[in-house]
Structure 1
Amino acid sequence: MTAELSKTELGTLGETLVANWLQTQGWRPCDRQWHCRWGELDLVMAKGPANRDGQLAFVEVKTRSQGNWDAYGLMAITRSKQAKLWKAAQLYLLKHPQWGEATCRFDVALVACRYQAGGAPPASPNPARQMALDDRRYLVLQDYIDNAFDVPGR
């Protein structure tokens, strides 16, 4: 069996799964784990050109193990968290003015770490939505919520 992953390592692998899946959906990565004083933007993904015809998605990825208490991370997207993500996105756009006219949105990806006793993960109808970690554990993109929340205060 492989050594236990830290929460940070597990979260990074969840982000990798989501970024790879989004690329199969026609999105391309712009940034990953982008930091500013308001926190971190897990993924910044683009579709189309960097103008008013393009789209920019700020994706918050929540990776949770079985037995979690917060609906696989959905309950962690509080109004306060949304406000911080909005402020981080504003700073991102200031530093990347080419995206200033693009349609921007906030998406949430919920990733579950599951255990499969006695072998490989079960076959998935969409293999891009899961990733094997070792002989017992795998990640699955449980839910992807487009436009998960509006800008706070608007």
Structure 2
Amino acid sequence: MANQPPSYYPDLGALGEDLVAQWLESCGWMLLHRRWRSRGGEIDVIAEFLRSDGEGESTLAFVEVKTRSAGNWDSGGRDAIALPKQQRICRTAQEFLAKYPQKADYTCRFDVAIVYSERITKNRTVDSVGANLAAISILGYHLTLQEYIPAAFDCL
């Protein structure tokens, strides 16, 4: 088989972010931004949970999505959220809050979503395991949201 150009392959990172965004919406979160960029960096998903019952503050979640396949080097993406990455996300979140000061009083947290990606071949199909939070099969891949870690780290 000939080597295909990069445009031949789907953007698995974007597909993982799509899965997480859909899951957050199904849990009652409102998506504010996807791949929000500033000078400081990028945040994959920014979501808001508005408390309509008056029983607490609204919450902003700055979500880092890690989509990985089998045999990856970084524990499914968990090791890729090291201190330098956390600091970039925090700086970017601060820039977001400066741009949207009406959100500055919200409770903010930094979440991490771990998505597993597996290529589906003609000889192999994927059975979803009930322990996963969400799953989708698209463009020849099966993606599962294996873990969602609320407040995975604090902004220093």
The corresponding residue for 1:129 is 134
Runs of 4+ in structure 1 over 4 Å off: none
The corresponding residue for 1:87 is 91
In 1, the alpha carbon distance for the partners of 2:83 and 2:67 equals 19
1:65 Cα shift? Answer: 1.4
The corresponding residue for 2:45 is 43
RMSD between aligned alpha carbons?
A: 2.0
Q: Mark the structure with the bigger radius of gyration.
A: 2
Q: Which runs of 5+ in 2 are unaligned?
A: 1-6
The corresponding residue for 2:75 is 71
Q: Supply the AA of the counterpart residue of 1:142.
A: Q
1:121 Cα shift? Answer: 2.6
The corresponding residue for 1:32 is 34
Report SS of the residue matched to 2:25.
helix
Report SS of the residue matched to 2:152.
coil
Q: Which runs of 5+ in 1 are unaligned?
A: none
TM-score calculated relative to the size of structure 2: 0.84
TM-score calculated relative to the size of structure 1: 0.85
Report SS of the residue matched to 1:147.
strand
Show CA shifts across 1:127-147 (max 9, x none): 861110245x20000111000
1:114 Cα shift? Answer: 1.7
In 2, the alpha carbon distance for the partners of 1:124 and 1:4 equals 29
The corresponding residue for 2:22 is 20
Q: Paired residue for 2:153, among 125, 149, 152? A: 149
Report SS of the residue matched to 1:146.
strand
Amino-acid identity (%) = 41
